[in-house]
């Protein structure tokens, strides 16, 4: 990862801090979230299968696995899920792609609990399902106009709506990661010589 991301210490997987804290919930809530739709199930199963396949490949043939990892550079998300996250990141917080926010979240997910990983992939699946229901295509195939319209619709749903909750979770993870990067800090006014307290410290 480039120097653009200056987050030096990863939070403990089960801590109450860090960009993925929005997805750390109790087992009961995780089980209830399994009913969020076909798209979510597809994403969750793809990510899990990719993770298991990668581990098996490493054990069977480290040389082949190293070449594959170098090419993909992904530790948890499969390519389709990563591309979806990359698009969503840029659409929600412009500049996230250049700051390598999706790459950082992929690495963070790789050391998270299974439940947190599942919640995150289900959130991505909610966007996939919304895109397919509205336009019959995956999120990454939407035009900019289509994606903006869907994001506007999703973000204005009631707080109890599962897709709105998915939006809030992804937005929180992306925004927190971006504004902890060098680019995000400069956007907030950092000049390289002054450290600012996080917004939470002001409440």
Residue 200: what pLDDT? Answer: 52
Residue 28 belongs to some domain of the structure: no
For the ranges 28-37, 64-73, 120-129, the one whose mean pLDDT is highest: 120-129
The pTM assigned to this predicted structure is 0.65
Closest CA to 118 of 54, 55, 26: 26
Phi/psi region, residue 67 (left: phi>0; alpha: psi -120 to 50; beta: rest), is alpha
Instruction: Determine the structural domain holding residue 64 and report its residue range.
Output: 38-184
Contact 4, 182 (CB under 8 A): yes
Residue 90 belongs to some domain of the structure: yes
Reduced to 3 states (helix: H, G, I; strand: E, B; else coil), residue 144 is helix
**How many independent structural domains does the chain possess?**
1
Residue 19 belongs to some domain of the structure: no
Give the confidence band of 192 by pLDDT, cuts at 50, 70, 90.
Answer: confident
Residue 202 belongs to some domain of the structure: no
Residue 140 belongs to some domain of the structure: yes
Please compute the mean of the pLDDT values over residues 15-26 and round it to a whole number.
65
Residue 21 belongs to some domain of the structure: no
| Residue with more model confidence, 102 or 21 | 102
pLDDT tens per residue, range 93-147? 999 999 999 999 999 999 999 999 999 999 999 999 999 999 999 999 999 999 9
Residue 108 belongs to some domain of the structure: yes
Residue 42 belongs to some domain of the structure: yes
What H or E segment, with its residue span, contains residue 126? helix 114-135
């Amino acid at each position: 990862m480039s120097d653009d991301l200056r987050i030096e210490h990863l939070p403990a997987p089960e801590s109450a801090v860090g960009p993925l804290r929005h997805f750390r919930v109790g087992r009961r809530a995780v089980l209830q979230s399994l009913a969020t739709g076909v798209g979510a199930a597809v994403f969750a199963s793809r990510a899990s299968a990719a993770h298991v396949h990668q581990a098996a490949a490493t054990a069977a043939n480290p040389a082949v696995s190293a070449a594959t990892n170098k090419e993909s550079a992904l530790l948890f998300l499969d390519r389709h899920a990563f591309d979806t996250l990359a698009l969503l990141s840029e659409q929600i917080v412009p500049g996230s792609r250049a700051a390598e926010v999706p790459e950082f979240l992929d690495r963070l997910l790789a050391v998270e609990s299974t439940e947190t990983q599942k919640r995150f992939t289900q959130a991505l699946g909610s966007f996939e399902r919304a895109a397919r229901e509205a336009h019959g295509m995956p999120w990454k195939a939407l035009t900019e106009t289509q994606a903006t319209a869907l994001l506007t619709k999703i973000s204005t749903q009631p707080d109890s709506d599962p897709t709105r909750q998915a939006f809030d979770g992804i937005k929180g993870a992306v925004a927190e990661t971006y504004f902890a990067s060098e680019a995000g800090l400069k956007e907030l006014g950092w000049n390289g010589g002054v450290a600012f307290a996080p917004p939470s410290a002001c409440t």
